[in-house]
C-alpha cells in the first residue's frame, strides 16, 4: 500500500470507527473479513481493497483505465466468453509502475503490451469471496504515461455477472440465452477492469456468436457480418461510463420499432405484447428531457428478458434491460421504464463514486421518475406513488432494524458487500430527502432549475454526497431557509426519514376507506366491497389496497375467498398485484397458495418478488422445510445474486 495522506487519514478513521463499534456484534459482521486482532492499515493491506472504494481493488488514483476494447466469442456449450480485452491505461502517479484491476473467476492466459506484443508480468492475488482477486499488471517500460495492455482470458461458467439459460428457461424453449447483470460489482467476472464507478471509460466490442443469435450491448451496434458460419457484431459506446453499465445479451430475438429512437427487443413469443406495453417510451423520454436536459446516448432501446432476470429494470445505456413481469397488458407498470430512462441522467451521466453513495443514483432517479409521472399523468398520481412507498419504506426499515446503519442514506460499505446492503432505503429515503429539499427552497420552480444546473455541472463525472451538498449550499446560499436543513440526520441517521413531506392523499383516501371497511368486516354476511369499487380503482390503487392488507394482521381465509370473488385476485396477471395477493394469502396460512407461490418464484427471478415470498414462507413453521428444499432444488438455475442473497435470507449454507 502506498502511504499518502489520504490513506493515513483513512486508517485512523477505520481505527476510531472500530473502537466505537467494538463488542456490538454488528462490528464483526461489518468487518467480517478483518481478523479481530488487527483492524488497521496492515489488515487493509491484506484485503487489498481500495481506501476510496470499499468494493474494489483497483487504484485509479495511481493508474487509470481510459478505454476498453473487448473482443469475445460466445460459447454456449461451455458457458464461457473467450477472447481478449485491450485496455488503454494512463499513469497518474509517476512513482507507480503497475495498474491494479479487479477480476473474479477469470482464467487469464496471458497479459502483454498490446503495442509491441511483449509479455507483461502480473500478479493475481488470492480471491476474497464476493470481491474476487486483485490483478496487478506491470506497465511496459517506456517514456510516455500512456499504455495499451492486452489480456487474453476466458470467463468461468459460474461468472457472477452472467446468466446462461438453458432453452427451457426461455419463451421459445429451443435456444439457449445469455444475459449479463454487472451492477454493482460483477463486471469483474466478465472482464478484467477497474470495477469501481469512480472510473468512466468509452468502450468498443466485437462479439462473435452463432449465426442465428442476436447480440445486444449497452452501446450502439454499428453492424454485424457473417464469418465462418458465425456472426460478428460490432459495438461502440462513445460516452464514458462506469464498468457496471457494460452489458451483453445473446439470444434468438426479434425487435419492433416503438419510437423514433427506440426499438423493443424480445423473443418472438412476447414481442407484440412488449411493443404494446412500452408504446409510451418516447413520451416518457421527451418528458425526461424537459426535466433533465438533452438525452446524450443516441438510441433508447428496451430488451425484455426471460423471467429469471433478477431486477425490474437495469439502466444499461442505449439498452435498458427489463423483466417480463412488467407485461401487465395495460401499461400500468411502465413506471419502471420511466425510472430507467431517468437513470440516463442520474446514475449514467452523474454517477455515484462508490456504492456508499448509491442514493445519488437511485434516490435522484426515483425523484425524477415521479416527476415524469406527475407530468404525464397528474400531480395526484405523482404524490400517490410517493405516499404509498412510505409504507414500503417503513416495512423495510422495521425489517432491517431502525437502528441499523444500513438504513442510513449514506452507508459504510467497508466489509459489507453492496449486494447485501441493497434495499429500497436509498431509493425512498433518497427521494424523500430530495422532495424535502425541494419544499424547503420553495418548490419545483426553484428546485428544477437547480437540478438542471446540477446535471450540467456534474455530467460525465463520478461524485459523492459532499459534492452534491456543497453544490446545493452554494446554489441556494442566499436562501435563508436552507439553514433549517439537518444534513447530518438526513444523511447519517438510521431509521425513517426525519420529515415525511405532506403528499397529496386524494388517491389514497379512496383506498383507505375500502381498506377500513374490509378490515373491520367480521366475515359474516355480504362482503362490504362491490364490483363497482373494483372498477373505480386504478391498478396502482389496487396494489396499495393489497399492500396495506398484507401489512395488517392475518385475515381469515374465508374473508380472502370473498375478496377474491369480487376482485379476481386468484387469476390476476399483473405481477405487482399477484405478489401482494400471495403475501396476504401466505400470512393467512392458506395452504393451497403455497404451491402457487412456489411455482411462480421458480420461474420468476425478480428479487423484489422472490425474496419477500421466500422470507414469508420461511417464517411459516410448517412450511419452512419445504421452502428451503424448494430453494435448494432451484438455486443452481438462479442468477448468482439471487441465489447468494436467498442463501442468507433462508440461512442456508453456500
**Active site members:** 340, 427
Q: Say whether 325 sits in a helix, a strand or coil.
A: helix
Binding stretches for Zn ion (CB under 5 A) = 362, 365
Return the DSSP state at 127. Answer: P
Residue 331 binds ligand BES (CB under 6 A): no
Residue 250 Cβ vs ligand BES, minimum distance, rounded to whole Å: 20
Residue 396 binds ligand BES (CB under 6 A): no
CA distances from 374 to 135, 291, 385, 452 (A): 47, 11, 10, 18
Residue 176 binds ligand BES (CB under 6 A): no
DSSP 193-262: B--STT--EEEEEEEEEETT-EEEESSEEEEEEEETTEEEEEEEEEEEE-GGG--EEEES-EEEEEETTE
* Beta strand spans in 406-477 (E): 461-463
Q: Name which position in 101, 191, 246, 314 contacts ligand BES (CB under 6 A).
A: 314
Q: Which is nearer to ligand BES, 340 or 467 (CB)?
A: 340
Those residues whose C-beta lies under 8 Å from the C-beta of residue 305, and which sit 6 or more positions away, are 179, 249, 321, 322, 323, 324
What is the per-residue binding string for ligand BES in 361-380, x denoting contact by CB under 6 A? -x------------------
Q: Name which position in 39, 79, 263, 339 contacts ligand BES (CB under 6 A).
A: 339
Residue 315 binds ligand BES (CB under 6 A): yes
**Does residue 482 contact residue 446 with C-beta atoms inside 8 Å?**
no
Structural Rg of the chain based on CA atoms? 25
Secondary structure element (H or E) that encloses residue 338, with its range: helix 335-342
Secondary structure element (H or E) that encloses residue 108, with its range: strand 107-113
What number of other Cβ atoms are within 10 A of residue 568's Cβ? 12
Q: Which is nearer to Zn ion, 156 or 423 (CB)?
A: 423
Q: Say whether 323 sits in a helix, a strand or coil.
A: coil
> Which option in ligand BES, Zn ion, none does residue 313 bind, with CB closer than 5 to 8 A by kind?
ligand BES
Residue 183 binds ligand BES (CB under 6 A): yes
Q: Which residue has the cell 494512463?
A: 90
Nearest-5° angle of CA 163, CA 169, CA 171?
120
* Sheet order of strands, 214-217 included: 162-165, 177-180, 248-251, 214-217
**Does residue 372 contact residue 291 with C-beta atoms inside 8 Å?**
yes
> Which option in Zn ion, ligand BES, none does residue 336 bind, with CB closer than 5 to 8 A by kind?
ligand BES
Residue 313 binds ligand BES (CB under 6 A): yes
Q: Name which position in 134, 343, 429, 611 contacts ligand BES (CB under 6 A).
A: 343
Q: Which is nearer to ligand BES, 192 or 313 (CB)?
A: 313
- Which residues in the 549-608 window bind ligand BES by CB under 6 A? 608
Q: Which is nearer to ligand BES, 334 or 650 (CB)?
A: 334
Q: Name which position in 54, 176, 312, 415 contacts ligand BES (CB under 6 A).
A: 312
Residue 161 binds ligand BES (CB under 6 A): no
Residue 187 Cβ vs ligand BES, minimum distance, rounded to whole Å: 12
Residue 246 binds ligand BES (CB under 6 A): no
> Which option in ligand BES, Zn ion, none does residue 518 bind, with CB closer than 5 to 8 A by kind?
none
Q: Which is nearer to ligand BES, 14 or 604 (CB)?
A: 604
Residue 197 binds ligand BES (CB under 6 A): no
Helix axes 379-400, 358-376, angle to 10 degrees: 150
Residue 626 Cβ vs ligand BES, minimum distance, rounded to whole Å: 27
- Which residues in the 424-483 window bind ligand BES by CB under 6 A? 427
Under the rule (CB under 6 A), what is the footprint of ligand BES?
A: 183-184, 311-315, 336, 339-340, 343, 362, 422, 427, 608
Amino acid at each position: 500500500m502506498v502511504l499518502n495522506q489520504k490513506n493515513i487519514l483513512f486508517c485512523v478513521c477505520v481505527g476510531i470507527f472500530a473502537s466505537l463499534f467494538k463488542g456490538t456484534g454488528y462490528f464483526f459482521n461489518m468487518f467480517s473479513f478483518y481478523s479481530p486482532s488487527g483492524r488497521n492499515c496492515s489488515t487493509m493491506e491484506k484485503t487489498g481493497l481500495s481506501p476510496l472504494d470499499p468494493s474494489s481493488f483497483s487504484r485509479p488514483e495511481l493508474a487509470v483505465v481510459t478505454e476498453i476494447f473487448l473482443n469475445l466469442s460466445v460459447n454456449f456449450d461451455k458457458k464461457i466468453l473467450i477472447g481478449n480485452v485491450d485496455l488503454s491505461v494512463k499513469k497518474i502517479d509517476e512513482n507507480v509502475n503497475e495498474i491494479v484491476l479487479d477480476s473474479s473467476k477469470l482464467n487469464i492466459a496471458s497479459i502483454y503490451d498490446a503495442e509491441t506484443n511483449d509479455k507483461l508480468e502480473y500478479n493475481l492475488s488470492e480471491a476474497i469471496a464476493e470481491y474476487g482477486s486483485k490483478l496487478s499488471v506491470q506497465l511496459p517500460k517506456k517514456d510516455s504515461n500512456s499504455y495499451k495492455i492486452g489480456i487474453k482470458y476466458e470467463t468461468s461458467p459460474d461468472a457472477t455477472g452472467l446468466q446462461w439459460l438453458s432453452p427451457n428457461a426461455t419463451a421459445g424453449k429451443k435456444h439457449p440465452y445469455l444475459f449479463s447483470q454487472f451492477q454493482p460489482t460483477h463486471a469483474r467476472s466478465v472482464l478484467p477492469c477497474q470495477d469501481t464507478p469512480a472510473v468512466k471509460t468509452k468502450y468498443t466490442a466485437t462479439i462473435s456468436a452463432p449465426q442465428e443469435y442476436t447480440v445486444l450491448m449497452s452501446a450502439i451496434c454499428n453492424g454485424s457480418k457473417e464469418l465462418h458460419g458465425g456472426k460478428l457484431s460490432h459495438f461502440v459506446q462513445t460516452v464514458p461510463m462506469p464498468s457496471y453499465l457494460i452489458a451483453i445479451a445473446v439470444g434468438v430475438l426479434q425487435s419492433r420499432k416503438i419510437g423514433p429512437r427506440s426499438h423493443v427487443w424480445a423473443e418472438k413469443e412476447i414481442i407484440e405484447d412488449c411493443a404494446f406495453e412500452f408504446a409510451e417510451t418516447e413520451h416518457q423520454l421527451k418528458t425526461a428531457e424537459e426535466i433533465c436536459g438533452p438525452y446524450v446516448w443516441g438510441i433508447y432501446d428496451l430488451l425484455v428478458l426471460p423471467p429469471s432476470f433478477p431486477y425490474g429494470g437495469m439502466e444499461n445505456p442505449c439498452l435498458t434491460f427489463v423483466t417480463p413481469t412488467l407485461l401487465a397488458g395495460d401499461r400500468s407498470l411502465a413506471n419502471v421504464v420511466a425510472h430507467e430512462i431517468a437513470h440516463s441522467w442520474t446514475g449514467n451521466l452523474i454517477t455515484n463514486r462508490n456504492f456508499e453513495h448509491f442514493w445519488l443514483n437511485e434516490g435522484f432517479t426515483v425523484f425524477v421518475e415521479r416527476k415524469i409521472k406527475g407530468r404525464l399523468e397528474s400531480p395526484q398520481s405523482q404524490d400517490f406513488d410517493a405516499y404509498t412507498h412510505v409504507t414500503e419504506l417503513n416495512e423495510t426499515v422495521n425489517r432491517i432494524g431502525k437502528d441499523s446503519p444500513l438504513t442510513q442514506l449514506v452507508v459504510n460499505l467497508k466489509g459489507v458487500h453492496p449486494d447485501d446492503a441493497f434495499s429500497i432505503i436509498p431509493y425512498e429515503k433518497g427521494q424523500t430527502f430530495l422532495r424535502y429539499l425541494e419544499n424547503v427552497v420553495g418548490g419545483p420552480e426553484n428546485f428544477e432549475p437547480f437540478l438542471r444546473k446540477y446535471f450540467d455541472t456534474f455530467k460525465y463525472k463520478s461524485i459523492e454526497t459532499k459534492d452534491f451538498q456543497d453544490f446545493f449550499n452554494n446554489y441556494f446560499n442566499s436562501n435563508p431557509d436552507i439553514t433549517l436543513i439537518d444534513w447530518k440526520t438526513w444523511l447519517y441517521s438510521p431509521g425513517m426519514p426525519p420529515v415525511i413531506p405532506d403528499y397529496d392523499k386524494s388517491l389514497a383516501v379512496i383506498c383507505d376507506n375500502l381498506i377500513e371497511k374490509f378490515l373491520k368486516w367480521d366475515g359474516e354476511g355480504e362482503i362490504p366491497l362491490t364490483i363497482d369499487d373494483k372498477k373505480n380503482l386504478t391498478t396502482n390503487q389496487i396494489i396499495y389496497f393489497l399492500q396495506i392488507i398484507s401489512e395488517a394482521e392475518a385475515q381469515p381465509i374465508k374473508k380472502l375467498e370473498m375478496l377474491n370473488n369480487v376482485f379476481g385476485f386468484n387469476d390476476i396477471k399483473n405481477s405487482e398485484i399477484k405478489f401482494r395477493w400471495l403475501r396476504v394469502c401466505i400470512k393467512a396460512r392458506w395452504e393451497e397458495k403455497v404451491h402457487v407461490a412456489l411455482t411462480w418464484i421458480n420461474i420468476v427471478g425478480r428479487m423484489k418478488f422472490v425474496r419477500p415470498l421466500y422470507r414469508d414462507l420461511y417464517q411459516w413453521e410448517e412450511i419452512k422445510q419445504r421452502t428451503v428444499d424448494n430453494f435448494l432444488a432451484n438455486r443452481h438455475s438462479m442468477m448468482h445474486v439471487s441465489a447468494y442473497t436467498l442463501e442468507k435470507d433462508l440461512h442456508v449454507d453456500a
